[in-house]
Structure 1
Amino acid sequence: MKLAVRLQLSTMMFLEFFVWGAWFVTMGTFLLNHLHTSGTQVGVAYLTQSIGAIIAPFIVGLIADRFMAAQLILGILHLIGAMLLWLAGSSADFESFYPLLLIYMILYMPTLALVNAISFRQMDDPAKKFPAIRVWGTIGWIIAGLTIGWLGWEKAGTLSLTFKMAAVASGLLGLLSFTLPNTPPLKKKEKVSVGELLGLDALRLLKQRSFLLFFLSSVAICIPLAFYYNFTNPFLNEAGMSSAAGKQSLGQMSELLFMLLMPLFFSRLGVKKMLALGMLAWVIRYIFFAFGNVDANYWMLIGGIVLHGICYDFFFVTGQIYTDARAGEQFKSAAQGLITLATYGVGMLIGYLISGPIVDAWQLADGTHNWQAIWLIPAGIALLVLLLFLLLFNDRKYDAGSQK
């Protein structure tokens, strides 16, 4: 890969996840404290991510795999997204905020598949080369969190500025996208079915038993993940942790480290062990949160945050590489959209629907929450998914040694 292309892809990944991390981590605190919503409304707001992820495969399959170059649609989506983010940051109540967020997430979620597809098309060995590019997305998320902590927006009650910061970054990425390596559609058949136009041909992957089990596991493990995205920042602020958003960036620092080590882990562990370790880290993380505090067990809070590196890299990034290998050349973008649907779509949809009411159910009379009871619920779900995955999943072709 040429140095210029590497720099372009790295900058793309940096901005892609800076935009997301700039507002997503602290949105729960913003909604609870600034717009005075309930926990259920926080869950409904985060639910927009799942709606966008469910629609993403259709946008990617219809346009990026068939009619328009991936980098062009990436640019268009981010320019529109910049305007929506700016307006969302200026909202005075949840009723005006929610529609803007919903439209934005419908446009943003397809870009996660697009940046992967653009990157993979420039690589002859994604298992070895993709982590070095993807790691810049992690760095972008870290910088966003550290910036929020450094500027003290949580303490000052000015988290609306996070949306405007994200809007500026989204505009920059939109413009940059038009300069990215050309990634034209792979398919050029004159006659196609409606299913192919909608990107549904990627569903053929589900006929493979191993991929079907991976798909179902992806759905299930993202149910407890929704608790983390929704309520970690409100939990840490309620527990008394200062600059919580900045501390949460330790999770992305851990993610960065493990991202760089992924080629080594891939060759030694293989797909199944990588995915299983990611799930196990989720179980441990939620147990740490359940029993952690800002006093004697402060290390548990930090440990739960730092485990994010293993949680994310070993499952999500491994899953993206595994999906790319399974998809073949015919529907790369649609396959990435499919796995986005499974994880950020269906799985988190269920998680967002149940997490808000659970948090509300464990709210105490003084407005605080019984966080120990809350965190033990996703811990139990993650443990059950891990055990079922270990018993049922097997794919020798793409396991240890096959990715070397």
Structure 2
Amino acid sequence: MSIKFRLTLMNFFQLFVWGAWLTTLASYGFGFKQWSGQEFGIVFSTLGIASIIMPAISGIIADKFMNLEKLYGLHHILYGITLLIIPNIDNASSFFWVMLFAMIFYMPTLSLSNALSYTILKNNDYDVVKVYPPIRVFGTIGFIVAMWITNLVSDPESPLAFGLEIGNKLSNITGMAIQCNQFYIAAFFAILLGIYSMTLPKCPPKNEIDNSNVTLVEKLGLQGFKLFKQTKMATFFIFSIFLGAALQLTNMYGETYIKDFSKVPEFADTFAVKSANIVLSISQISETIFILAIPFFLKRFGIKKVMLFSLIAWVLRFGFFAYGDPINSLWMIIMSNIVYGFAFDFFNISGSLFVETTTDSKIRSSAQGLFMMMTNGFGAVLGSLSSGYLIDNYFTYNDVKDWHNIWLTFAIYALVITVLFAIFFKHKHNPNDVESINH
């Protein structure tokens, strides 16, 4: 079995074990557990909290104490075991703590998987820039496959949904089993992935590096915070937080939004409502396509304009959802999913490139970590908590959510961020920026 195939398999299941439950968590919380918007927002904030505290800690362990492939595998095994506990949790408060532990184990693997792939490819004399992107694409494919499988096994009418059927109605035990399938699937494959990854080529810690003069700040990977002294970098990171607040909103609420159309009789039996997760998977399919266009857009328009295009795409993403429905305006829901690939990939890639081309090489890794901390950490926490509060207090009437105005509010928010970013973020286009990806 070739190295490239083995890494492809690893990347496939890396996002498979996340996609199995991420987009269906809202349906589980709102529908099955009857949580409020604020309770769900607090639960979802565990992704951001873990993204703030864990990647640096895991990086230190990998650098000094433990083989990278073993640490990566251990994270996934513990993540899988923790997911198995979730079906036994009855309230949002306890669920928060269990999910937080699950995310503490999982979120660092997003960066560890990159590091592991890079190290193994380099050790085997592969051109990382050329070889890795096709391998990484299979991670997104894994996310899509997981969404499809979860959709099928969570449908009571599907032959793939396991459970005990009594007469023509599902028993409570069966209903619980179907609702929890997403966690069982993710847990099973996460544990398998953890075991499998430990068979990958060894990547020992680099103990030969002299750390005697390294400060605590450097050990924790926090030296990038000095970039806040620079106006342009501070502006960029602040906007990264505010955009990060919007990045996961459609993953948080997308499936629940579509499934809530079932409360309207004319929409109840439509394909979109019955297969919401499959419809939403168009977003990930779009990602695999748009990512190929990034070098062209960066070369032609520059980093700032590409980030602006991304922000405009976020306005469209939310706006299409606001006016879509499963019959007359299904095309809007589909278009929302298509523009997601542009919106999500273009900001993340161009933002990462901006950091790469404007920071000193000595703190570049820390700066990249800081960018991820702002978007997936602080931004995600801000988006989770604030959206839950707003939905509960301003857009829920008699337990019915006003999705039109929810998405419209998010669209206006994204539009305000877009305008402010265009005004305050100063960056001159350099056609050679895209070339630096290869160096």
Unaligned stretches of 5+ residues in structure 1 = none
* AA of the residue aligned to 1:307: V
| Cα distance in 1 for residues equivalent to 2:435 and 2:364 | 23
Deviation at 1:116, TM superposition (A): 2.4
RMSD: 2.8
* AA of the residue aligned to 1:399: D
CA contact (8 A) 1:132 1:259 kept: no
Alignment-derived partner of residue 64 in structure 1: 62
The SS at the match of 1:55 is helix
Alignment-derived partner of residue 385 in structure 2: 353
| Cα distance in 2 for residues equivalent to 1:239 and 1:276 | 32
Over 3 Å counting, the alpha-carbon distance change for 1:84 and 1:374 in structure 2 is same
2:204 is equivalent to residue 172 of structure 1 = no
| Cα distance in 2 for residues equivalent to 1:208 and 1:361 | 38
2:299 is equivalent to residue 277 of structure 1 = no
Alignment-derived partner of residue 248 in structure 1: 280
Alignment-derived partner of residue 412 in structure 2: 380
Q: After superposition, where does 1:176-191 map in structure 2 within 5 Å? A: 176-185=196-205, 187-191=209-213
| Cα distance in 2 for residues equivalent to 1:125 and 1:267 | 22
Q: After superposition, where does 1:49-60 map in structure 2 within 5 Å? A: 49-60=47-58
The SS at the match of 2:400 is coil
2:291 is equivalent to residue 259 of structure 1 = yes
The SS at the match of 1:394 is coil
Greater shift, 52-61 or 166-175, is seen at 52-61
CA deviations on 1:130-176 (whole Å, 9 max, x unpaired) are 43232111101100111122334487752211011001121122123
Between the two proteins, what is the percent identity of the paired residues? Answer: 33
Deviation at 1:339, TM superposition (A): 2.5
Q: 2:139 aligns with which of 120, 137, 150?
A: 137
Alignment-derived partner of residue 98 in structure 2: 100
Deviation at 1:403, TM superposition (A): 4.2
| Cα distance in 2 for residues equivalent to 1:98 and 1:105 | 10
Over 3 Å counting, the alpha-carbon distance change for 1:161 and 1:8 in structure 2 is same
Deviation at 1:307, TM superposition (A): 1.8
CA contact (8 A) 2:40 2:92 kept: no
Higher relative contact order (CA 8 A, sep 6+): 1
| Cα distance in 1 for residues equivalent to 2:6 and 2:366 | 23
2:89 is equivalent to residue 87 of structure 1 = no
* AA of the residue aligned to 2:141: I
Alignment-derived partner of residue 200 in structure 1: 222
CA deviations on 1:43-64 (whole Å, 9 max, x unpaired) are 1110111110110343144323
CA deviations on 1:182-222 (whole Å, 9 max, x unpaired) are 54556432332111221212334545554443322221112
| Cα distance in 2 for residues equivalent to 1:326 and 1:64 | 27
Q: 1:219 aligns with which of 237, 241, 244?
A: 241
Deviation at 1:330, TM superposition (A): 4.9
Greater shift, 96-105 or 319-328, is seen at 319-328
Alignment-derived partner of residue 24 in structure 1: 22
| Cα distance in 1 for residues equivalent to 2:365 and 2:14 | 17
Over 3 Å counting, the alpha-carbon distance change for 1:181 and 1:217 in structure 2 is farther
The SS at the match of 2:401 is coil
Over 3 Å counting, the alpha-carbon distance change for 1:320 and 1:153 in structure 2 is farther
Deviation at 1:249, TM superposition (A): 0.7
| Cα distance in 2 for residues equivalent to 1:11 and 1:208 | 41
Of the two, which has the highest radius of gyration?
2
Over 3 Å counting, the alpha-carbon distance change for 1:365 and 1:213 in structure 2 is closer
